[in-house]
Amino acid sequence: MAKRDFYDVLGVSRGASDEDIKRAYRKRAKEFHPDRNADNPDAESKFKEANEAYEVLKDAEKRAAYDRFGHAAFEPGMGMGGGPRPGGGRGPQADFASAFTDFSGVFDDLFGDFRGGARSGRQRAARGSDLRYNLRISLEEAYGGLQKSITIPTAVTCSACRGTGAEGGSEPVTCPTCSGMGKVRAQQGFFTVERTCPTCSGLGQIIKNPCPVCHGQGRTEKERTLSVNIPAGVETGTRIRLSGEGEAGMRGGPTGDLYIFIEVAEHNLFQRDGVNLYCRVPVSMTSAALGGDIEVPTIDGGRSRVKVPAGTQSGRQMRLRGKGMPALRGGAQGDMFIEMAVETPVNLTSKQRQLLREFDEESQDNHPESENFFTKVKGFWDGMKG
Ligand SMILES: [Zn+2]
Ligand SMILES: [Zn+2]
């Protein structure tokens, strides 16, 4: 069953204020609380559903992520998202960690507490996340390089508050809970535990009147179209970094980077190994025996004539110099290797059968490889007899 929209679950509009969301959640939690619904089998799942929705919508960053990606924001391995970050947690929050790998700020909020003295003092306005874009191209495109237009959903600096997150561009004020430190201390048994300040989420500042356009985030979601230059010679796994084309930072923080991950699709004629290309070409039994010419395709869309020497055996390789892939970072262009595969004819007519029988009767010293093989086999069997 498809997961319900979190706003629908709580019965609020997309633009609902934090206060509205809290009120709607309380109402539902009361209504569906299992203690009050002993004889209503649906109540428990409704109660859980409301809890799940509220967990996300009450948190500005999670809510922004949900607004942007929907439920996919909380699934591991979503299309966008940076690489894994260090210090992943365990327990119930671990799932969030994988879902939020591209929201550095959230990650720090969830796990900052457990990193001990790794960081002290207050957080600066968070840098925007790096974005990953997977781009699949053909081998021909990898050969020639290409200009590609890509559209990415991303966060950009909110123009209404110029990225400050405060209504009308007014300045944020120092957080009263932590006096701007971003951290609070609490006694826990024998230990004093330092935690990220719950009031300001570690930023050290709070916004009295959040910007209505971006809900105090200082950034809004938008689709951007970029023209990307993919150089000739890229291969699967090549990363192209576009500095400053990632997400806008939180509240005016620096912008992240965009990484294009290249995947080159398999080709039905050519196999690639680094800069070299391999192509398996069938050769008729008669051409292989008598010698001849074959025409082979090249990755640039052209063709090359290749001489088949008389007496060519299956598996013989010919090299076409410089007909491989260009090298990504300078260096010589690769070669193309043709592997000859001698094909045994099928669907013979009775005339052909007759000719081959006559050929066979005429044969002597025509198959040195076979003769060599059977000599070895005879030696092997003789050896077994002792
Ligand atoms: Zn704003
Ligand atoms: Zn604070």
Q: Residues of 113-124 as b/e, b for ≥16 C-beta within 10 angstroms? A: eeeeeeeeebbb
Using the mean position of ligand 2's atoms as its centre, give its distance from the Cα of residue 72 in Å. Answer: 30
Domain boundary among 234, 264, 294: 264
Confidence at 169, pLDDT banded by 50, 70, 90: low
> Does some domain include residue 345?
yes
Same domain, 233 and 344: no
Using the mean position of ligand 1's atoms as its centre, give its distance from the Cα of residue 206 in Å. Answer: 14
- Can you give the pLDDT at residue 96? 32
Q: Average pLDDT for residues 292-302, to the nearest whole number?
A: 94
Q: Residues of 183-208 as b/e, b for ≥16 C-beta within 10 angstroms? A: bbeeeeeeeeebebbeebbbbbbbbe
Listing DSSP states for 33-96 in one string gives: -GGG-TT-TTHHHHHHHHHHHHHHHTSHHHHHHHHHHGGGGGSTT-SS--PPPSS---GGGHHH
- Can you give the pLDDT at residue 1? 52
Same domain, 296 and 380: yes
Q: Average pLDDT for residues 341-357, to the nearest whole number?
A: 96
Using the mean position of ligand 1's atoms as its centre, give its distance from the Cα of residue 11 in Å. Answer: 25
Same domain, 136 and 158: yes
Q: What global pTM score does this model have?
A: 0.53
Same domain, 241 and 307: no
Using the mean position of ligand 2's atoms as its centre, give its distance from the Cα of residue 164 in Å. Answer: 17
Same domain, 252 and 283: no
- Can you give the pLDDT at residue 280? 96
Using the mean position of ligand 1's atoms as its centre, give its distance from the Cα of residue 163 in Å. Answer: 6
> Does some domain include residue 310?
yes
Number of alpha helices (DSSP H) and beta strands (DSSP E) in the chain: 10, 15
> Does some domain include residue 112?
yes
Using the mean position of ligand 1's atoms as its centre, give its distance from the Cα of residue 61 in Å. Answer: 14
Write out the residues surrounding ion ligand 2, Cβ under 5 A: 175, 177-178, 197, 199-200
Same domain, 177 and 226: yes
- Can you give the pLDDT at residue 198? 86
Domain boundary among 249, 264, 279: 264
What percent of the chain is modeled with pLDDT above 70?
86
Using the mean position of ligand 1's atoms as its centre, give its distance from the Cα of residue 372 in Å. Answer: 83
Least confidently predicted of 28-37, 156-165, 176-185, 324-333: 28-37
Same domain, 254 and 163: yes
Q: Which residues pair with 88 in a beta bridge?
A: none
Instruction: Please tell me the distance from the alpha carbon of residue 156 to that of residue 162, in angstroms, as a whole number.
Output: 10
> Does some domain include residue 371?
yes
Q: Starting from the CA of residue 182, give the closest ligand.
A: 2
Cβ of 149: how many Cβ atoms within 10 Å? Answer: 8
Same domain, 203 and 314: no
8 pLDDT above the threshold of 80: yes
Using the mean position of ligand 2's atoms as its centre, give its distance from the Cα of residue 174 in Å. Answer: 8
Using the mean position of ligand 1's atoms as its centre, give its distance from the Cα of residue 210 in Å. Answer: 8
Using the mean position of ligand 2's atoms as its centre, give its distance from the Cα of residue 232 in Å. Answer: 50
Tens-digit pLDDT profile for residues 177-217: 888 888 888 777 777 778 888 888 888 888 888 888 888 88
Task: Print the domain residue range for 282.
Answer: 271-385
> Does some domain include residue 198?
yes
- Can you give the pLDDT at residue 376? 94
- Can you give the pLDDT at residue 75? 64
Tens-digit pLDDT profile for residues 213-229: 888 888 888 888 889 99
- Can you give the pLDDT at residue 104? 38
Domain boundary among 239, 264, 289: 264
Confidence at 100, pLDDT banded by 50, 70, 90: very low
Give the DSSP H/E element, type plus range, for residue 226.
Answer: strand 219-230
Q: Which one has a higher pLDDT value, 296 or 22?
A: 296
- Can you give the pLDDT at residue 105? 37
Same domain, 69 and 186: yes
Mean pLDDT in the chain? 81
Count of the separate structural domains present in the chain: 2
Same domain, 112 and 251: yes
Same domain, 92 and 220: yes
Q: Starting from the CA of residue 197, give the closest ligand.
A: 2
Least confidently predicted of 140-144, 184-188, 331-335: 184-188
Tens-digit pLDDT profile for residues 350-366: 999 999 999 999 988 88
Q: Which one has a higher pLDDT value, 310 or 117?
A: 310
> Does some domain include residue 158?
yes
Using the mean position of ligand 1's atoms as its centre, give its distance from the Cα of residue 326 in Å. Answer: 47
> Does some domain include residue 4?
no
> Does some domain include residue 201?
yes
Confidence at 261, pLDDT banded by 50, 70, 90: very high
- Can you give the pLDDT at residue 353? 97
Write out the residues surrounding ion ligand 1, Cβ under 5 A: 158, 160-161, 211, 213-214
- Can you give the pLDDT at residue 124? 57
83 pLDDT above the threshold of 60: no
Using the mean position of ligand 1's atoms as its centre, give its distance from the Cα of residue 257 in Å. Answer: 22
115 pLDDT above the threshold of 70: no
Same domain, 171 and 230: yes
Confidence at 381, pLDDT banded by 50, 70, 90: very high
Confidence at 335, pLDDT banded by 50, 70, 90: very high
CATH number, domain of 99, equals 2.60.260.20
- Can you give the pLDDT at residue 52? 86
Closest CA to 281 of 290, 289, 273, 271: 271
